[in-house]
A = this chain, B = another copy of it.
Amino acid sequence: MEYIYFQGKLVKKDSKDISFLDRGILYGEGLFETLRVYNGEAFLLDKHIARLKKGCSVLGINCDTDDLSTGGIRSVIDANNIVEGSLRITVTGGGKKGLLPAPDSKCTYFITGKPGSPYSPEHYSKGYKGLISSIKRNPYSPLTYLKSLNFLENILAKKEAYDAGYDEAIFLNVKNFLTEGSITNLFIIKDGEVLTPDEKCGLLPGITREVVIDICNKNKIPVKEKSNLSLSDLISADEAFLTNSLIEIMPLVKINKHLINNDRPGSLTKRLSILYKDYIKICSSP
């Protein structure tokens, strides 16, 4: 039996406790975070909670995240026997009537979790194929910068890529510069330099993205955030990779019909993957 943590208590996974009038289901008003569990601990929980709080402030959701980050996370990990696995925290604007949010309304929140590695070793050894999405990211919307429950654009892009035989969709912005993947951030390696689209291009500033930039800096690997990376930069890259909390570092070996590094994960990508694994060990050792 799987369990979900719902506002202070554990409930069964197939419970139905969400109101028809919840602003999450009516408008997608809310936020989520996906986290990895290593050694029975939620990885970089503080950073995820900080991003969630920031998002709540933008959306005007009144959420005290203390119960989530203390009791909730622990309860879900323990109840579902997660040593290695993944978690999702969902927060909505709650059940207030009318279109406008109210700062005094109570949020709805729940945490789901499951054991197991979300991706297999084959995924990493083969690498991902990326397709440029027909949807373009909008830098002029606050939603572009939030992990909100308005996630349909990402789903439609991912489906478009998947239906065409690709693993991930990559968004250009409305000015045709590279931004991010449907559930990942994008990195390019060119002449030994690690490049990633700047946040202002219109992307969710990922926590793994931030860690990878830190790892580069600490290991004296040149790294830059750039606001004008184009598709041709990606096509002509020496290597490329994608990041998110669940996927960690995934080599990107193809974009549209163009192979990157001859369809194989590159050497600096591999080095960064090892450095990221080391970072996990340091952060999650007891």
Contact = CB atoms under 8 A, between A and B. Distances in A.
Interface stretch (A26-34, A123-131, A259-267, A271-279): A26-34
Interface in A106-135: 110, 112, 135
A46 interface: no
A16 interface: yes
Contacts of A32: 26
A101 interface: yes
Contacts of A143: 152-153, 156
Interface residues of A, number: 51
B149 A26 contact: yes
A136 B15 CA distance: 39
A9 interface: no
A162 B22 CA distance: 22
Copies of this protein chain in the complex? 2
Interface string A1-37: 0001010000101111111111011111110100000
A6 to B, nearest CB: 7
Nearest to A24: B25
A115 to B, nearest CB: 15
Contact of A153 (B101, B150, B155, B159): B150
Nearest to A161: B100
A170 interface: no
Contacts of A27: 28, 149, 151-152, 155
A95 to B, nearest CB: 9
A138 interface: yes
Nearest to A23: B155
B110 A20 contact: yes
A158 interface: yes
Nearest to A31: B152
19 contacts: A13-B21, A16-B16, A16-B20, A18-B20, A18-B22, A18-B25, A20-B90, A25-B30, A26-B149, A27-B149, A59-B152, A99-B155, A100-B162, A135-B140, A136-B138, A138-B140, A142-B153, A150-B151, A174-B174
